[in-house]
Structure 1
Amino acid sequence: MSDKPSVLFVCVHNAGRSQMAAAWLSHLAGDRVEVRSAGSDPGDQVNPAAVEAMREVGIDISSETPKILTVDAVEESDICITMGCGDTCPVFPGKRYLDWQLEDPAGQGVEAVRPIRDDIRKLVEDLIEEIAPEKPEKPA
């Protein structure tokens, strides 16, 4: 893993879980981590309930668009985190793969998406602590 780890979040439509995870990681880790997201069968737009749920916590994902999962995206990432795409994600030696079991927010209202959003935040916080913890400032 390089000085700046790269993470790829993958779910089927790249419209809910992976978009929220990528937004949380970017928001919480800043430029300490390179963040990507993609889907094995991308949707037409990001789930409006996911957009609203993230807006409630001050994160705007309304301009994001679902992207197709490519071999290059996996190859260029240190860690690939799947969220329901299973075997459609290509596997390369030397990469780290995690599978986060999360409910699919597709077709659900914002009330149902909020707990998914909060579960993703906790998983992302744990990931950051492991791969890119904040370094204490050096004394002057």
Structure 2
Amino acid sequence: MAAAFLAQLAGGRIEVGSAGSAPADTVNPAVVEAMAEAGIDISARIPRLLTADAVRACDLVITMGCGDACPVIPGKRYLDWQLDDPAGQGVGAVRPIRDEIEARVRALIAELLPR
């Protein structure tokens, strides 16, 4: 959700990637539905594993509670966003998570791309 919001809201001004420490085979249907309600189609996305090489290519890494499972590369900036996990949740439970992620992404964009 964060990558999709960042890609859309930054309008191509920030290069965005997405991966997880234990990705599912498919995107959670409730997440797809919640994001569609926000006008973002993520139905074709394929979850990927977060690798050390992917982290090395980043200037900023945003994690969401992966702890020791996420690769840590010295010199990289990390933000850990503690959020409820949408896995196994229905769309009603995913909406507030989506909204919190959107708010954090908007704040991050304001920090990274000041007017």
- Deviation of 1:30 (Å): 1.4
Counterpart code for 2:64:
M
Q: Give the Cα–Cα distance (whole angstroms) in 2 for the partners of residues 132 and 36 of structure 1.
A: 18
Which amino acid is 2:101 matched to?
I
- Runs (4+) of structure 1 exceeding 6 A deviation are none
- Normalised to the residue count of structure 1, the TM-score between the two structures is 0.79
* Separation in structure 2 between the aligned mates of residue 92 and residue 72 of structure 1, nearest angstrom: 9
- Per the alignment, in what secondary structure is the counterpart of residue 125 of structure 1? helix
Matched, 1:95 2:76: yes
Unaligned runs of 5+ in 2: none
Unpaired runs of 5+ residues, structure 1, are 1-19, 136-140
Counterparts of residues 36-47 of structure 1 (less than 5 Å): 36-47=17-28
1:78-105 CA distance string (max 9 Å, x none): 0111102111112222210110010001
| TM-score where L is the length of structure 2 | 0.96
Identity of aligned residues (%): 68
Question: Shift of the alpha carbon at 1:40?
Answer: 1.4
2:47 aligned residue: 66
Q: Is the 8 A contact 2:52 2:73 kept in 1?
A: no
Number of aligned residue pairs: 115
Secondary structure, aligned partner of 1:39: coil
Name the stretch that deviates more: 124-133 or 110-119: 124-133
The structure where strand makes up a greater share of residues is 1
Residue 17 (structure 1) aligns with? none
The code of the aligned residue for 1:85 comes to C
SS at match of 1:54: helix
Which of structures 1 and 2 has the bigger CA Rg?
A: 1
> 2:25 and 2:74 mapped to 1: Cα distance?
32
Separation in structure 2 between the aligned mates of residue 101 and residue 40 of structure 1, nearest angstrom: 15
